A and B are shown apart, each in its own frame.
Chain A
Amino acid sequence: MNGTRTPTAAPAARAPRTRRAVLKPQGVLLAVLLVAACVAPFQLVPFRVFQLTMVLVYAIAVLGLDLLVGRTGQISLGHGGFFAIGAYVAAVLLDRWDVPYPLTLPAALAVTFVLGFALGIPALRLRGLYLALVTMTIAIFLVPLLKRFESLTGGSMGLTLTKPDAPAWTGLAQDQWLYFCVLLVTGGATLAVAGLLRSRVGRALAAIRDNEAAAEVMGVRLSRYKTLAFAWSAMLAGAAGCVNTWVIAFVSPDSFTSTLSIMLLAGIVVGGLGSLYGPLLGGAFVFFMPTMSQGINQAAPGVISGLLIIVIMYVAPTGLAGLAGRASAARLARKK
């Protein structure tokens, strides 16, 4: 079935011929990354651990967005909204009913999945820019809506919560514990997406992205898969929002402005669409870009942010992961 992919859209590493050659270093890289991810919190100061945690939080959301943008070619400028809903579901459950915090995750997943599915149906009829417009407006609309239900959401003051402490048996500090919780969710989400993409569903999605009409002719049930992709994507953004609440322990409408949606979309494009490490790079971009910008020009950090986004699009139109992928593909080509 790999034949349905067009060579431009699929990262070179995925072409069957090169699989053996590429898989090995990829496996090693993955192992190194995992080991580093597990050792890091014991080597770094708490602030850096916190930063890494936030990168992972955003990586989950970007991973979800990748499922939609990278795998089915739909554009959403409203994933900040699903992020917000996931965050609020967790916050309200913790604040109102003192639910044990691990249980907030399935709740956030369920709510955002259902909402994503409901929105996925009208989204079916929208392509490209129109979907971007609709999702953007929905995310903007969410802010006054959250304020309207003040008794539940705390209105514009938001909800202040307490961060979960590490269980005594782990001997971990709070930052480390939260880091591992988020790492676990990120890992779970990545495996789930990888499994999904390797299944029939993944092939159907790829077929839709590459040529919708052809896929339909070949018997792919467009509406079903597109709606589901939207729902899964929303669900992952919701998961990111939920773990964000664990880490930040504060939600308010101002936490989830349209800037977040823009940054998430920029994150996946900068990180690299449809690639394994794209979401991780994207998460790092979302988190570190504002910091970097004000490091360069404190008088107007936005100028640098805007410039960076544009410049990265020039230098690496397929994202940072794509840049690396192209480099390795070029190397392989030379070897032959």
Chain B
Amino acid sequence: MADFIQQLVEGLGSGAIYASLALALVLIYQFTGIVNFAQGELAMFSTFIAWSFVQAGVPFWLALILTLAVSFLGGMAIERIVIRPVEGAPELTLVIVTLGLFILVNAAAGWIWSFLIKDFPSPFPESALHLGGVSLNYSTLGVLGVVAAVMGVLYALFRFTKIGLAMRAVASNPASARLSGVRVGRVLALGWGLAATVGAVSGVLVAPVLFLEPNMMGGVLVYAFAAATLGGFDSPLGAVVGGLVVGVAETLAGAYVGAIGSDLKIGVPLAIIIGVLLVRPQGLFGRAAVERA
């Protein structure tokens, strides 16, 4: 039994990581209506910036704040420079552009910081909590806590602020939003900036566990997609719950389902994505979209 609970805890640990990136995906989808394939790479890049600050002797928390600021500006700049020229283009064009961005950012990070792995300081204590044969790392708890906090902030932003309303208007119909006086360009840039900031938080949380290198987020991305799909691409709560469910499902399946084993674990997010889309396409917490022909 203790072993099962331990597996559960491990699953929550990886789930929290997936959830953190899924939050950034959900955020940008809310603002701009696109799925950003480069989100993980941007998070990785932000983490490298934080690492550079720490290497230069900046205290960790100051480095973190600086990184979040840089990421916010960087995200807005990317929207202006990379996305703006193809604004309004078909979905497919945007997919290709974010894929191009994915390749570009990954290679640029390798070029600047090399592909050798780096250690990244963890803001949480190294030790673990022991409760009746089950050990719980403080870092897992810390990641869960931060993810919950970010989720709360995003929920409040979506729900209670004016910008949240404008953002939802833009995502659902940019043309009407523009007509009703929303400054669409500003909202879109804001969306990219905020998503990059949330991504930076995700990268900083993930780096102490996975070690920092340019391909750090590549493996996480698929799981984050599964999490966002499961929870619904328009719900921060959904992203977090989705992330945790995916993490637990993957860990338990790898440990207890012989036919899956650890080599076919990647099948778990796949099964989740397909299953959810077939049964409840809007996800657990998402709202169903009604199509107007």
Q: Which residues of A contact B (CB under 8 A)?
A: 69, 75, 77, 122, 125-126, 128-130, 132-134, 136-138, 140-141, 144-145, 147-148, 211, 213-214, 262, 265-266, 269-270, 273, 299-303, 305-310, 313-314, 317
Task: List A contacts of B281 (CB < 8 A).
Answer: 125-126, 130
**A125 to B226 Cα, complex, angstroms:** 17
| Cβ A309 vs Cβ B99 within 8 A | yes
Asked if B9 CB lies within 8 Å of chain A CBs, one says no
Q: Which of B91, B99, B108 has the most CB of A within 10 A?
A: B99
| Cβ B100 vs Cβ A269 within 8 A | no
Task: List B contacts of A132 (CB < 8 A).
Answer: 35, 95
Asked if B269 CB lies within 8 Å of chain A CBs, one says yes
| Cβ B270 vs Cβ A141 within 8 A | yes
| Cβ B270 vs Cβ A138 within 8 A | yes
> Which residues of B253-287 are within 8 A (CB) of A?
263-264, 266-267, 269-270, 273-274, 277-278, 281
**A270 to B110 Cα, complex, angstroms:** 26
**A314 to B83 Cα, complex, angstroms:** 10
| Cβ B264 vs Cβ A148 within 8 A | yes
Asked if B140 CB lies within 8 Å of chain A CBs, one says no
Q: Which of B92, B107, B229, B274 has the most CB of A within 10 A?
A: B92
Task: List A contacts of B35 (CB < 8 A).
Answer: 129, 132-133
Asked if B175 CB lies within 8 Å of chain A CBs, one says no
| Cβ B103 vs Cβ A305 within 8 A | yes
| Cβ A133 vs Cβ B225 within 8 A | yes
Closest 9 CB pairs of A and B: A302-B107, A306-B104, A309-B100, A213-B293, A300-B111, A306-B103, A310-B100, A137-B270, A303-B107
Given contacts A134-B273, A140-B222, contact A299 B100 (CB under 8 A): no
The chain A residue with its CB closest to the CB of B107 is A302
In whole Å, how far is B112's beta carbon from the nearest beta carbon of chain A?
A: 9
Known pairs A302-B103, A303-B111, A314-B85; list 16 more (Cβ under 8 Å).
Answer: A75-B92, A132-B35, A133-B229, A141-B264, A141-B266, A144-B264, A148-B263, A273-B92, A300-B107, A300-B110, A302-B104, A302-B108, A305-B100, A305-B104, A306-B107, A313-B96
Task: List B contacts of A147 (CB < 8 A).
Answer: 263
Given contacts A148-B264, A309-B103, A313-B86, contact A129 B95 (CB under 8 A): yes
Given contacts A133-B35, A145-B264, contact A302 B106 (CB under 8 A): yes
Task: List B contacts of A305 (CB < 8 A).
Answer: 100, 103-104, 107
| Cβ A306 vs Cβ B100 within 8 A | yes
| Cβ B111 vs Cβ A310 within 8 A | no
Specify which of B102, B266, B291 is in contact with A213 (CB 8 Å cutoff).
B291
Task: List A contacts of B86 (CB < 8 A).
Answer: 313-314, 317
**A307 to B82 Cα, complex, angstroms:** 10
| Cβ A265 vs Cβ B96 within 8 A | yes
In whole Å, how far is A252's beta carbon from the nearest beta carbon of chain B?
A: 16
| Cβ A126 vs Cβ B111 within 8 A | no
**A162 to B273 Cα, complex, angstroms:** 40
Task: List B contacts of A69 (CB < 8 A).
Answer: 92
Asked if B97 CB lies within 8 Å of chain A CBs, one says yes
Q: Which of A265, A266, A306 has the most CB of B within 10 A?
A: A306
**13 A-B contact pairs sorted by A residue (CB < 8 Å):** A125-B277, A132-B35, A133-B273, A134-B273, A137-B270, A141-B266, A141-B270, A213-B291, A302-B103, A305-B104, A305-B107, A306-B104, A313-B93
Helix, strand, loop or mixed for chain A's interface?
Answer: helix
Q: Which of A125, A270, A302 has the most CB of B within 10 A?
A: A302
Task: List B contacts of A266 (CB < 8 A).
Answer: 96, 99-100
Task: List B contacts of A133 (CB < 8 A).
Answer: 35, 225, 229, 273
In whole Å, how far is B86's beta carbon from the nearest beta carbon of chain A?
A: 6
| Cβ A310 vs Cβ B92 within 8 A | no
**A270 to B107 Cα, complex, angstroms:** 21
Asked if B89 CB lies within 8 Å of chain A CBs, one says yes
Task: List A contacts of B291 (CB < 8 A).
Answer: 213
Task: List B contacts of A77 (CB < 8 A).
Answer: 95
Specify which of B95, B107, B222, B277 is in contact with A126 (CB 8 Å cutoff).
B277
Asked if B101 CB lies within 8 Å of chain A CBs, one says yes
In whole Å, how far is A11's beta carbon from the nearest beta carbon of chain B?
A: 15
| Cβ B263 vs Cβ A144 within 8 A | yes
Asked if B209 CB lies within 8 Å of chain A CBs, one says no
Task: List A contacts of B229 (CB < 8 A).
Answer: 130, 133
In whole Å, how far is A70's beta carbon from the nearest beta carbon of chain B?
A: 9
Asked if B105 CB lies within 8 Å of chain A CBs, one says yes
Task: List B contacts of A148 (CB < 8 A).
Answer: 263-264
Given contacts A133-B225, A137-B269, contact A299 B103 (CB under 8 A): no
Given contacts A75-B95, A134-B277, contact A302 B270 (CB under 8 A): no
